[in-house]
Structures are given as C-alpha cells and as structure tokens.
Chain A
Amino acid sequence: MINFLFPTIKNDYSPKIFESKFLLTLAVFIFLFNFLSFNYLPGFINKVEAGSINATDLIQLTNESRQSAGLVELNQSAELTAAAKSKSEDMFAKGYWAHFGPNGETPWQFIKEAGYIYVFAGENLAKGFSTSSAVHDAWLNSPTHKANIMKPEFRDIGMYVAEGNLAGEQTTLVVQMFGSKTDTSKDKVAANTTSKASSSKSISTSSKQSSTSSNSNIKDTTPPIKPTITNPINNGFTNEPIIKITGSAENGSTVKVYLNNTYNTEGITSNSIYSIQLSTELQKGDNLIEAESIDNSGNISLKSDPVKITYDTTVPVIDTSSFKVIDKKDNIYTLLFSIDEPTAIKDITATLDSTNLIVSAINSTDYKIEGVNIETLKLVKGIDIHAEDVAGNKTDILLDGVSLNSEMEKYTSNSVTGTYNGFEEILNSITNLSIRQQINIGIALFILMFLLVDFIILFRIKKLHPERGKSALHLPHLVLVIAILIFSGLGSIK
C-alpha cells in the first residue's frame, strides 16, 4: 500500500497512484460516475440548493455594477419577476434552454403576459452555477450579457432562480429580465442572444377586412374574427371594482363581454377597437373575462382567449413588530421586516430623513432595508415606509425611531466585531455545491493531497529532479483548476 501511494526506493520513487494505468482508471471512474449521476442516479445527487443562488443577491450585484458605472439602480418589478418565473417554468416544461422556445416563444411574450408593458426589455439566462457571484461574474465577463446589465435605458429588473430537471439533467436555472416602461410610443427590445442579434419587436394585429357588398342578395355567412382583450391583461390585478374592457374586434361589430361565464355588457366596435365598462362589480379574487363579436349579418365569432384578473382591495400590512437588525457595519445597519400581502408587492420604498434607503425582497414576505444610519435616525422621527401591491393598494407607515434605536444598540452590544465574512463565503462556495460536484472536488482533493506528499518527499530526499518532478507541474495545475471549479463554477450562460 505504501509503495502504491508514496515514493519509495522500492517503487523507484514513482508511486503507482501517479502512473498512467491508475490515472486512466481514475479518469474512467470519474466520467462513469458523472455520467450515471446525470442520467440514472437519484436526483438529490445533482441537486444544488437553489437558495444558494439568491435573486436578492443577484439584483444587489447588478445594482452595484450599475452604480459603479454611474447608472441608475434598477427597481425590483413584480411583473418582471413573474415573467422570469413563467420563463423558467416553460423551459423546464418543454425541456429547452434558450431565449426562444421550440414553438417560437419569445422572452417578450412572457414579459407582456405578466402585465409589463415595456419600451425596452432584455433577458439574461444562466444554468449550472452554484453561487450568485459566480453567475454575476459570468454575465459580466460576457459582452452581450454585460450590455444588458449596463443598459442605461433599463429601469426595472425581475429575477427567478429555479431548480429542476431540464431535459434529463438536474440543474439550476437563473432567469434575469430587464425592462423599462417609459416612452410607450416606441417598441424596442434588446435581446441577449449569443447568436442572434437584437431584434425590433413589432406588434401586428390581424383583423378581417370588413367588406360591404353592393349586392344585397349575397348574404354574409363568414363569422367575425375572434376578438382580443388587451386590457385588462391576463393574470393581472386590480383594486377597482368596475373596470373597462378594451380590445380589438371586427370593425362595426357588436362585442358582448362575459364576466365569469355570464353575459355582462356589450358595445359597438369603432375602428376595430372596442372599449366597454362592466355593468357589475368584479367579485373578490379571480375573475374570468371573455368577449365575442357579432357582425351586422348576425354571425357570431369564437370567444376571445379568456383573461384572468384578480380583484384585490386588501392593503399590504407591514408588521411593525417584525423589524429586527440583521447586519451592521460601523454606524450603518441592515434591517429585516415582514409584509403580509396575499398577492405580491409591486413597489416598496423606505425613506430616512428624505434619503431613499435600499429595500430588497428576501422572499415573498420578508424584506431588508440597507443603509440605515443610526446617527441620522436619532435626529428624526423614524423611517417612512411605503408599500404598494400589484393591484395598486397602498400603505404608508412611520417606523418609530426610538424603538428602532434601542434594537440597533442592543445588536451592537451582542454583535461580534472584527470577523471577516469572506472566509464564510469560501466555505459557502463549497457547501453550496451539489453532492455530485462535492464528490468530484473530493476526488480532486484526494489526488492533490497525494501529489503534495509526493512533492514533499521527493523534495526532502532531493529526488524531485528531473524525470520524477512531475508533481511540480501537476500540483499548481490541479490547485488552479480546483479553485476555479469551486469558486467560479462551470455553468453556462445565454
């Protein structure tokens, strides 16, 4: 065994462990193990904790990069987050990993379906990474992805991290969507594709050309085209009980609107556009709206695609008792708090003495406020917090500065100062890997350990030179490769 593992006189200072036969066996074993892991072994072996790639961290990293380039920070958008979620679910369901789906699905489709009316939009994708910083680094190291991150026109961002089985491979997908709602007269898109150039998006509506016949004996039996509903948008939210339905239909036809499968109201189409107010109030929760068009000859079209709208009047409730300090650097604190909201929060701001603080979502209920200066807090009444849900319900509270101050001071007395969380980051990079990746790293470290022992023994007995000095090259090469594999990851981006 000693002769197998270590350089000795008996093995002429060439341990069997570093001979070609064993190295080949080991390489075949690693290939086989990984192949089986990807295809046949239980999913948990490949499972990377999606939590280790954090949407909040990625948004923060994106904003830090933008800030250092002198660009405005992006606001987290509930609609873009929903679009990113839909995109990731679609990719898992249809087994593709690309900007454009197998049936021609475009990124813009998901953005629009989520109710985000964009002027500029963009998408970045990543898969197979195990840390947020590795994903962000890979994007920054690609000019096209970096261009999206640094695009001055963007104002909003939505991120979704999902873990699942993509075409037989257990992996983590990261979808990053950017957008800007300003200037709706233009309709430009910035697609980040590796092979396809950015394309301009034009919306074309197809409508049947209505024709009037001079011969009254010829009866029009062609039914009108199926009407479309453009407002409200599908899967949208509202806090208005009575809403206006708008869309397109055959010019001059009568459009009947159905609310929850019951006839509600009707109106006449002008210039192929209709706009009709509902005659009754929406019911609390989900509502289904459909429209059909009837032409002058009485032909009835098919019903439009149903549009789901959620009627919500519940204002977000900020839990004032949930505030706690989670981090501190000098006089600057980071606070955590919860919001009770059945739908989703669209906009949240926190102001301290007319300075906007950074607020970001940790999950669907918990948020963090960064940059709270304790000295400033002592001079004012407190922190103003404003939250608005996707339906438009708003809430404003003043978080009492006195009680918050005592929380902060308590944190100071309990906190351990002088620790550097960078080393925690190193540990996290390893623990965040999947079991398969950890086994691979384990094997590499095993080889590394014996290489090091081999090197030390040969150095001490002055046998390192010449032909046995292979470890002098193997060692730095393996160390570098292991470090890159652990800390940068080998994920791909699109």
Chain B
Amino acid sequence: MKIFIKDYKRSIIVSILCFVSFFSLNEVLTEKRYELFYFFSVLLSFLFLLLIYFDHVTNVKKYNQKQIFSLEKSYYLQHILNHYVVPVSLYLFSLLFIFLNNNFPLKIVIFFIVSVSLLICLINVRSYFLNKLTLEHSTHSIYDGMKLIGFFLASNALLHIYFNGSINIFFELIFLAVVTIIGIGLIFVRSGLYSKDIALTVILSSIIITLLAFLSIKVLNLTLVQTNIGLLTLFYFIVAVIHHKIEGTLTKKIVVNYLMFSLIIIALMYGMR
C-alpha cells in the first residue's frame, strides 16, 4: 500500500484537487459570481492541461522512458491520445456540467465519479511509464467506462445548449455525431486499429446515436433527462460490442448479456416514471 501511494501520490493529489476544484467552482456559481466562475474555469483548465503535460514530461525523464519515442508512432499515439484526451475531456465537460446544471445532488455524484475516473486514468498513465504494464493491461477496459462518462457529460452539455435554444437541431446533431466519432474512434485508436471498415463502423455508430437523438427530441418530445439516459444506454451498448469485438471475445452470448443489462435499465426507467 505504501509503495502504491508513493508511486501514485501525484495521481491521488491531482484527483483530490479536481474534486475540490469542482466543488469550489460550484460554490462560486451558487453565489452567482459568474465572472469569477469564468475566470477560474479557464485558469483551472489551463492548469490541468499544464499538469497533464508536465506529468508526461516528468514521467518520460524521471522514469527514463525516452525509448518510448523510438517506438512505432502509432503505438505511441494509441496510448498518448487516450492518456490525455480522456482526462482533459472529462475535466472540461465536468466544468460545463457544473455550469449548465442546477441539480446539486446530481452534481455531487458526478464530481465523485469524475474524480474517481481521473484517479484511475492518471494511475494508468503513471503505471504505463513505470513499466507496470500488468496494471495498465488489467485495467485498460476502464478507459471505455471513462469514455461512457465523458459521453454522458458531453451529450448532457449539448442537450442543455439545444434545449436552451442556443443552437438548432442540425448543429446539435452534428456536434453529437462528432462527440460520438471521437469517443468511439478513441477505442479503436487505443488498440491501434485503423481501416476503412473501422471508419465505417465509427460513422455508422454516430449516425445511429444522432438518429436516436433526433427521434427523442423531435418525434417523441422526450425531456432532456429522458433523452440523455436513452443516448447513454445506446452508447454503452455500442461501446460494449466494439470493446468485445476488438478483444476478440464478441459472441452472441455477450451481446445478449449487454442487451439484458440494457433491458434492466429500461425496466428501471419504466418504474421511475
């Protein structure tokens, strides 16, 4: 345990600081001090980016992982993109979530989930440099969980912006498609898979997601929350199928298993009306 804390001290501190920053920014917003909120949001985002960057530089220097750059570029990219795009997106979308939502209890849960996700993500990044690849290997599927959280936060922000009348449905769907492409694209990048079929899969997934969004908003007239849960569940299912396909473990049984879990979610939604 001591070694664990020693190795991952920085990751633990950063995730705790993130939780505190979310909480403090929310307090600033509660006091309706918007200028202060904007100022600190930009400042903290910049600091977070710097932190992530210096963490990378330190990791490379301190753990003498300079040979990492001599690795095939795609191998380097597949890790680095996930190591940095995922935490930065999580942090930025969390700030948007704080700004756009009024629901305090939900915010607390999101702060907690995002902070824990950031902790796991940063531990994974560090373990990658520490050559503790067994840890990274055993927990890398958690990245897909983080993408799920990131997608929830991004789609929540986009839906808020649309429902507030700031963008029209066309741009809403375009942005949603882009978020889906980035989220699902990163799964393939993580595994170093690039092909025409994969590009088609990513585009098809984003079309399905945007189609559901269009139906929920325009045809079924669902509320923001109902649309958000629907999109999240569909994204979860797509990510799960892709995840297992990449791992070579995709079977009918696995698909049915995820379908059944989605069915439980729908049953719970029916009961919570």
Contacts and interface: CB of A to CB of B under 8 A. Distances in A.
Interface stretch (A128-136, A151-159, A260-268): A128-136
B105 A425 contact: yes
A464 B141 contact: yes
B257 A493 contact: no
Given A30-B271, A142-B223, A473-B240, A484 B105 contact: no
Nearest to A493: B223
Contacts of A27: 260, 263-264, 266-267
B273 A491 contact: yes
Interface residues of A, number: 68
B272 A485 contact: yes
Interface in A453-494: 459, 462-467, 469-470, 472-481, 483-493
B145 A473 contact: yes
B77 interface: no
Interface in B92-111: 101-106, 108-110
B253 interface: yes
A422 B111 CA distance: 14
A484 B134 contact: no
Interface in B50-65: none
Contacts, number: 185
B145 A30 contact: no
B145 A476 contact: yes
A380 interface: no
Interface stretch (B35-43, B66-74, B198-206, B229-237): B229-237
B102 A477 contact: no
A479 B102 contact: no
B102 A483 contact: no
Contact of B267 (A30, A37, A474, A479): A30
Interface string A387-422: 000000000000000000000000000000000001
B221 interface: yes
B224 interface: yes
A322 B271 CA distance: 43
Given A26-B264, A143-B163, A436 B271 contact: yes
A101 B43 CA distance: 53
B110 A23 contact: no
Interface in B205-254: 221, 223-226, 228-229, 232-233, 236, 239-240, 243-244, 247-249, 253-254
B263 A23 contact: yes
Contacts of A491: 223, 273
B196 interface: no
A483 B149 CA distance: 12
Interface stretch (A83-91, A203-211, A279-287, A437-445): A437-445
Contacts of B113: 476, 479-480, 483
Nearest to B30: A422
Interface of B: 32, 101-106, 108-110, 113, 117, 134, 137-142, 144-146, 148-149, 152, 159-160, 163-165, 221, 223-226, 228-229, 232-233, 236, 239-240, 243-244, 247-249, 253-254, 256-258, 260-261, 263-273
Closest 6 CB pairs of A and B: A23-B260, A467-B249, A30-B267, A440-B271, A34-B271, A469-B141
Given A26-B264, A138-B224, A141-B224, 11 more contacts: A27-B263, A27-B266, A31-B267, A142-B223, A146-B164, A422-B104, A437-B272, A473-B145, A473-B239, A487-B103, A491-B273
